[in-house]
Amino acid sequence: MIYGLEAETDNGWCLPSARLAIAGIQVARTIYDTLTVPDGDGNFQPFLAQSVTPNDDSTQWTIQLREGITFHDGSPLNADVVKNNLDAFRGQYPGISVDLFLFVFQDITDVQSDGNLTVTVNTARPWVSFPSFLYSSGRLGMMGQAQLDDPDHCNENMIGTGPFQLQEWVNGDHLTVVRNEDYWRTDADGNQLPYLDEITFRPVPEPRQRFNSLESGELDAFHSSSATESLTIADLRDLADGGSINLTESDDFAEVGNLMLNAAEPPFDNVLARQAAALAIDRETINDTLADGIPELANGPFPPGSTGYVEDNGYGAYDPDQAASLVQQYQEETGQELRVQISSPPTPELLQLVDAVKGYWEDAGMTVTTTTFDQAQLITTAVNRDYQAITWRNYPGLDPDNNYVWWYGQGNPINFMGFDDPEVNQLLDEGRAAAPDDRDAIYQQLNERLAEQDYMLWTSWVMWAIPTDPDLHGVVGARPVDENGVSTDGDSDYTGLALGHDMALMWREQG
C-alpha cells in the first residue's frame, strides 16, 4: 500500500523529542506500540501492558507487561526498557533530549523496574487519568533499547514492537515499512497481524493532489479532514456512493479546529482584542461556504458526549457591531491600532479560511496581514510563540486531563497561547486529582472559562476521512486486545480517526 500523508515529520522519530502532528502519529503508530489504547467508550485499555493498576488513591500505578514481546531487533520488551522509555519521556534518561514531554510527566516522581515484567510509577498527587497518558494521543510508543542508547541517530533509527518495521526513510520523499514477521498480535480468528506486507508513506501536502494521486494509482489511500478543504467530505461521499473508492469517516472523539491567539504578546494579551476577534467572525457562513456545512461548529474543546461538554457555554455569537466597538475601545485604551498577523500552512483550504477571517477582522476595524509556513515550521512557530494568530487543530476528545499540558500556565512551554490564567490552572489541578463522579462538573467550568476568555477561537469539530482504493479495507482507529494478545471482534473499536488508525488491521482483496 502507498499511503499519502499531509506532511513530513522533519525532525524525525526520537519520540521524546519528536513533534508529531497527525501525519507523524500515523507513521509512529505503524512502527511503535503504546502501553495502552483507547476503546469505543473513550476509556483506556492495556495494550503492550497486560494490566495498569492504581493503588487506593491513584498515586502509584503498577504496569504489568505482556510476556514474549520483542522489538524489531530481537531484543525483549521488559520492565527495564519500559522504565528507560518513561524516564526518557520525562527527561531523566542520559543523552535523550526532551522539550514538550518534560511538562507532560512532571507529576511522576519515580519509575521502578523489577527487571522482568513489572514497572511501578509513583506520582506526586492522585492522577486518575494516568492510563490515558501511557497513550498520549499515540505519541508514547515504546522504543527499543538500541534506539534509546544511540542519541545521535535516535531520530532515524526506528526500533519498535509495532506491526511494521522500518526499511527506508528518505526525508521529504518516502518512508517504507515492511511486515514484522514476529508481531505479537493476532486477529479474532487467530491470524497473525499485520495483514499487509509493505507500506510506503509519501508526504503530499495538498489535499486535491492526494486525491488525484489516488485516482491515478500513485496512492492507494490517504487521510483527509473536513476543515474547509479543497476536497470536501461531500466530494468523497459522492465517489464512495458510486463505488470508485472506499471511504471511512468519523467525527467521534473529535479534535477541534481553531485559531490560536498569542495571549502573551500584544494585541491578544488584551482580552478586548481577543473578544473583538471572536465576535467579528461569522463562523456559520464560513462553514457553509468552504466546507458545505458538513462539520459541526464547535463551541469549545470538548465535543458532544465527552466529559466537560456544555451545550451553551456562551461561545459562538456573531456580532460585528460589538466587535467594531471593542476594536475602538482597545485603540482608545492602548493608543495603538489593532494590528494582527495570521499564520497558516499554504494549503488552499486554509488560505481560504484565513482570507475569510481577514475580511471579517478588517470589517471590524483591524489591520490584518498574513504569512504562511509549511506544517513543520508552523509547529516550531507555535512552540516558540512567534505568532499572533495561527491556524491550529488539536484536543482530540479523549480524557480532558490530557489538555492540562496545553493550557496550564506558570511558565509551561507547551501552553502555546502563553496565557497564565489562575482560574484555568485551579480547574486543571482539581480535575486531575478529582474523583470520577466530580470530574464532569469541573471540566464544564473550565469549558465556560475558556469560552469567556477567547484564548482560542473555535471553528468546527474536525471530521476525518480515509479514502482508499476499492480493494482496501480495515480502517479502524484502534482495537483493544484480550489477555492473550488477540484483537477483539470489533464491538469495542475506538472509532475516532483524529489520531490516525491501526495499520495492522488493513487488508487488500485479492482479485
Cα distances (Å, whole numbers) of residue 275 to 44, 329, 342, 473: 37, 11, 16, 46
pLDDT (0 to 100) of residue 228: 45
Please name the amino acid found at residue 191.
N
What's the chain's length in residues?
511
Read off the C-alpha cell for 89. 519521556
DSSP 186: B
Domains delineated in the chain: 38-148 (3.90.76.10), 256-461 (3.10.105.10)
CB 291 within 8 A of CB 463: no
pTM for the model? 0.91
How much is the average pLDDT of 206-218? 90
- Reported as a single tens digit per residue, the pLDDT across 22-48 is 999 999 999 999 999 999 999 999 999
pLDDT (0 to 100) of residue 312: 94
Q: What is the rounded distance in angstroms from the CA atom of residue 19 to the CA atom of residue 228?
A: 24
pLDDT (0 to 100) of residue 304: 84
Count CB neighbours of 241 within 10 A: 10
CB 195 within 8 A of CB 472: no
Cα distances (Å, whole numbers) of residue 484 to 68, 112, 192, 267, 490: 11, 25, 12, 56, 16
Decide if pLDDT at 192 tops 70: yes
- Reported as a single tens digit per residue, the pLDDT across 64-102 is 999 999 999 999 999 999 999 999 999 999 999 997 788
3-state secondary structure of 82: helix
Greatest mean pLDDT range, 206-210, 323-327, 379-383, 464-468: 323-327
Of 429, 4, 453, the C-alpha closest to 215 is 4
Give all strands (DSSP E) within 185-302, no chain letters: 198-203, 221-222, 224-225, 246-250, 256-261
* Mean pLDDT score across all residues of the chain: 94
Cα distances (Å, whole numbers) of residue 499 to 183, 208, 427, 439, 464: 22, 21, 26, 24, 10
Of the candidate ranges 175-189, 222-236, 316-330, the one whose mean pLDDT is the lowest: 222-236
